[in-house]
């Protein structure tokens, strides 16, 4: 499957390196990397004891389905009754669990450093997940039942689905025909009021008679399309902000193509964010703009603000960062794909121009949650012959974007590999040395508890880098669901500082202590839990930075910046090749 689904070079490199390292460890290569003999003996003794118990239970006709327990045995993949009621399937399930536990225990027992062990553990988990008996027609009771009940039609349909996905080069995870950008997703009313070769600027139609004097500019990630923030009316962050009296502007990044294959990181700052800020101010006539950045959009925004402050310009009233990393000390599972060799390969192939395909990057993100975003669809689409349901978030997830090679290669080296942004004066961007400590406007930093892309402790480190007062908030759930938590539903919860103002004094002086994770844990130990969504908390935090209220304008744009086309514009509709 990997050859057909365009597995990225980073993935292939990671698999080959991890497999080689693990085999070397088992073979006892004298690099102080081998598994300790005592631990290996204990793990083997426990494993064979479990296998003996399973097989004797099978021979004796025992109905006990819980002989071997483990996390995998409670996985939703094994929810079919047969995995517990049928002795053969119970044996298969529990044997799989024992094998998985053994492999994970061996990885944990190696004498590698934590970084290499993390890499090894990640790719071992990919192997373990792929080896699940639920992923194969001959050992999946639900697939067998579906084939019998349909007289083989489910298998025929599944093969047709597989061939279709092989032709597309990606796994279908939702009913894409159910959605249309600009119709039932990205449907908030507005207009494109500016565009250049890198982005379109959307201004949304006001929904209140009076609006905040200072506009709100949103910088979404360029690795995904902006409409995650404007899916449908009942879960649209854009609509919520407009309903709260904000004049909202949204950057819609161009899907990189041959014409933009030379675009650099500096271009994203200067031609992108800085241009968007200046245009927003020119249209509204405001003295300052409030800003939001999500994920890599937050990294780009913060970098642009560091450039602006280095130029002694003061045109941003506040900064909101949503699940953003500025300090890449702990990049989570994404870090397993990044090392010197991988980055050099990307620099040689793309650093001077080219396109990094969005589907490759999308597959990497799917691997981070393979049991949610890969294997359920392999089972349902191919083994059971079903079609995936319509789900707006998964439609957005599959609508990938390409990245320009020079920007991508620079980002890999200077953020993920060398972690240069956190060091004052280390990087020169747009011709000036940058220091996040000079980004001294009030900041609202949101992390999410189960984020698999930006670990919340990594997002916390931003509080030690930014120069102004920082409100740190920890939302429940993950990278997407923790952010898209609509006020209309007011689900989940969030944590805030237990102090009266909830703020943290920012500043770069604490950035080099190396003790941020302890600080983050200490913060959480004393944090106050609040029910519902962080959206309501954020809008209350933003109000003092609104600059007062003015009457909402009847027309979008201005004399200088006339509307070009209705929202969401052309750029967001361009599909990645």
- Domain with residue 558: its CATH number is 3.40.50.1820
**373 and 305 within one domain:** yes
What pLDDT was estimated at residue 556?
97
Q: How confident is the model at residue 236 (pLDDT cuts 50, 70, 90)?
A: very high
Q: Please, are residues 320 and 483 in contact by the beta-carbon 8 Å criterion? A: no
**261 and 139 within one domain:** no
Catalytic member of 222, 295, 430, 493: 295
**349 and 416 within one domain:** yes
Domain assignment present for residue 248? The answer is yes
**199 and 129 within one domain:** no
Examine the pLDDT at 460 and tell me if it is beyond 50: yes
What pLDDT was estimated at residue 7?
58
**339 and 234 within one domain:** yes
Domain assignment present for residue 548? The answer is yes
Give the mean model confidence (pLDDT) for residues 412-440: 97
CB atoms within 10 A of CB 73: 22
CB atoms within 10 A of CB 547: 16
Question: pLDDT exceeding 90 applies to what percent of the chain?
Answer: 72
Please state which of the ranges 69-73, 119-123, 494-498 shows the lowest mean pLDDT.
69-73
What pLDDT was estimated at residue 424?
97
**Tens digit of pLDDT for each residue in 103-125?**
888 887 887 888 888 889 999 99
User: How many structural domains comprise the chain?
Assistant: 2
Q: Please, are residues 564 and 193 in contact by the beta-carbon 8 Å criterion? A: yes
**203 and 115 within one domain:** no
Rounded Cα distance between 133 and 135, Å, is: 5
Examine the pLDDT at 299 and tell me if it is beyond 70: yes
Domain assignment present for residue 164? The answer is no
The yes-or-no answer on residue 295 being catalytic is yes
Domain assignment present for residue 176? The answer is no
Q: What six digits make up the tokens of 122?
A: 């990640």
What pLDDT was estimated at residue 506?
56
Q: Which of 147, 179, 200 is the last residue of a domain?
A: 147
**339 and 252 within one domain:** yes
**138 and 249 within one domain:** no
Examine the pLDDT at 515 and tell me if it is beyond 80: no
**Tens digit of pLDDT for each residue in 74-100?**
678 899 999 988 988 988 998 898 888
Nearest to 454 by CA among 472, 479, 475: 479
Q: How confident is the model at residue 31 (pLDDT cuts 50, 70, 90)?
A: very low
Give the mean model confidence (pLDDT) for residues 469-473: 97
Buried b (16+ CB within 10 A) or exposed e, 365-402: bbbbebeebbbbbbbbbbbbbbebeeebbbbbbbbbbb
Please state which of the ranges 21-30, 189-198, 271-280 shows the lowest mean pLDDT.
21-30
Q: Please, are residues 37 and 45 in contact by the beta-carbon 8 Å criterion? A: no
**208 and 114 within one domain:** no
Q: What six digits make up the tokens of 218?
A: 């949103």
- State the residue range of the domain holding 432: 190-573
Name the E strands within 277-336.
Answer: 289-294, 316-322
Q: Which of 147, 179, 210 is the last residue of a domain?
A: 147
Examine the pLDDT at 63 and tell me if it is beyond 60: no
Domain assignment present for residue 367? The answer is yes
Question: Which residues, in sequence order, are CB contacts of 432 under 8 Å at separation 6+?
Answer: 307, 310, 311
Domain assignment present for residue 105? The answer is yes
- Report CA Rg, the chain: 26
**222 and 309 within one domain:** yes
Q: Which of 92, 118, 147 is the last residue of a domain?
A: 147
Question: Which residues, in sequence order, are CB contacts of 202 under 8 Å at separation 6+?
Answer: 190, 191, 192, 193, 249, 250, 251, 252, 567, 568, 569
What DSSP state is assigned to residue 427?
-
Q: CA-based angle 370:451:17, to the nearest 5?
A: 50
- Average pLDDT of the chain? 88
**132 and 198 within one domain:** no
Examine the pLDDT at 20 and tell me if it is beyond 70: no
| Predicted model pTM | 0.88
**351 and 415 within one domain:** yes
Q: CA-based angle 508:514:520, to the nearest 5?
A: 80
Give the mean model confidence (pLDDT) for residues 293-307: 98
What pLDDT was estimated at residue 64?
47
Rounded Cα distance between 42 and 281, Å, is: 67
In sequence order, the β-bridge partners of residue 549 are 212
Domain assignment present for residue 152? The answer is no
Q: How confident is the model at residue 269 (pLDDT cuts 50, 70, 90)?
A: very high
Residue 194, SS3 per DSSP: strand
Residue 323: left if φ>0, alpha if ψ -120 to 50, beta else—which one? left
Domain assignment present for residue 162? The answer is no
Rounded Cα distance between 233 and 131, Å, is: 41
What pLDDT was estimated at residue 3?
45
Matching residue, tokens 């997830």: 397
Q: How confident is the model at residue 512 (pLDDT cuts 50, 70, 90)?
A: very low
- The residue that leads in pLDDT, 368 or 64, is 368
């Amino acid at each position: 499957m990997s050859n057909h689904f365009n597995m990225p070079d980073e993935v292939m490199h990671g698999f080959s390196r991890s497999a080689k390292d693990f085999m070397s460890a088992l073979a006892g290569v004298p690099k102080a990397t081998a598994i300790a003999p005592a631990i290996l003996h204990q793990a083997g003794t426990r494993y064979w004891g479990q296998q003996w118990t399973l097989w004797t239970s099978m021979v004796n006709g025992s109905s006990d389905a819980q002989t071997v327990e483990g996390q995998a045995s409670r996985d939703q993949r094994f929810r079919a009754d047969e995995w517990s009621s049928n002795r053969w399937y119970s044996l298969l399930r529990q044997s799989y669990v024992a094998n998985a536990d053994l492999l994970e225990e061996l990885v944990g027992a190696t004498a590698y450093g934590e970084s290499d062990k993390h890499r090894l553990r990640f790719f071992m988990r990919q192997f373990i997940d792929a080896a699940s008996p639920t992923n194969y027609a001959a050992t999946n009771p639900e697939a067998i039942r579906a084939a019998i009940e349909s007289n083989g039609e489910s298998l025929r349909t599944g093969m047709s689905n597989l061939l279709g996905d092989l032709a597309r080069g990606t796994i279908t995870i939702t009913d894409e025909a159910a959605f249309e950008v600009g119709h039932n997703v990205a449907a908030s009313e507005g207009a494109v009021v500016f565009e250049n070769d890198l982005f379109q600027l959307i201004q949304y139609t006001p929904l209140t008679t009076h609006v905040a004097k200072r506009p709100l500019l949103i910088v979404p990630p360029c690795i995904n399309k902006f409409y995650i923030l404007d899916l449908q009316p009942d879960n649209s962050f854009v609509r919520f902000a407009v309903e709260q009296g904000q004049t909202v502007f949204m950057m819609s990044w161009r899907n990189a193509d041959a014409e933009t294959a030379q675009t650099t990181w500096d271009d994203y700052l200067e031609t992108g964010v800085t241009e968007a800020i200046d245009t927003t101010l020119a249209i509204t006539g405001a003295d300052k703009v409030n800003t939001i950045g999500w994920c890599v959009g937050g990294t780009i925004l913060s970098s642009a603000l560091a450039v602006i402050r280095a130029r002694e310009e003061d045109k941003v009233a506040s900064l909101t960062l949503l699940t953003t990393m500025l300090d890449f000390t702990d990049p989570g599972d994404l870090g397993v794909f990044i090392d010197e060799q991988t980055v050099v390969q990307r620099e040689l192939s793309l650093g001077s121009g080219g396109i990094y395909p969005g589907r490759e990057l999308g597959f990497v993100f799917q691997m981070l949650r393979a049991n949610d975003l890969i294997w359920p669809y392999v089972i349902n689409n191919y083994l059971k012959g079903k079609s995936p349901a319509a789900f707006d978030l998964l439609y957005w997830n599959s609508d990938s974007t390409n990245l320009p090679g020079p920007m991508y290669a620079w980002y890999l080296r200077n953020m993920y590999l060398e972690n240069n942004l956190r060091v004052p004066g280390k990087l020169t961007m747009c011709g000036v040395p940058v220091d996040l400590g000079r980004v001294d406007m009030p900041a609202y930093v949101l992390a999410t508890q189960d984020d698999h892309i930006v670990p919340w402790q990594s997002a916390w480190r931003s509080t030690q880098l930014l120069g102004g007062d920082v409100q740190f908030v920890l939302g429940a759930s993950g990278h997407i669901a923790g952010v898209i938590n609509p006020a209309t539903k007011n689900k989940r919860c969030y944590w805030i500082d237990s102090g009266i103002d909830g703020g943290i004094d920012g500043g770069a002086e604490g950035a080099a202590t190396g003790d941020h994770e302890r600080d983050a844990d200490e913060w959480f130990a004393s944090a106050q839990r609040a029910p519902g969504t962080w959206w309501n908390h954020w809008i209350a935090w933003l109000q003092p930075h609104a600059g007062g209220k003015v009457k909402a304008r009847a027309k979008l744009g201005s004399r200088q910046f006339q509307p070009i086309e209705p929202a969401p514009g052309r750029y967001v509709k361009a599909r990645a090749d």
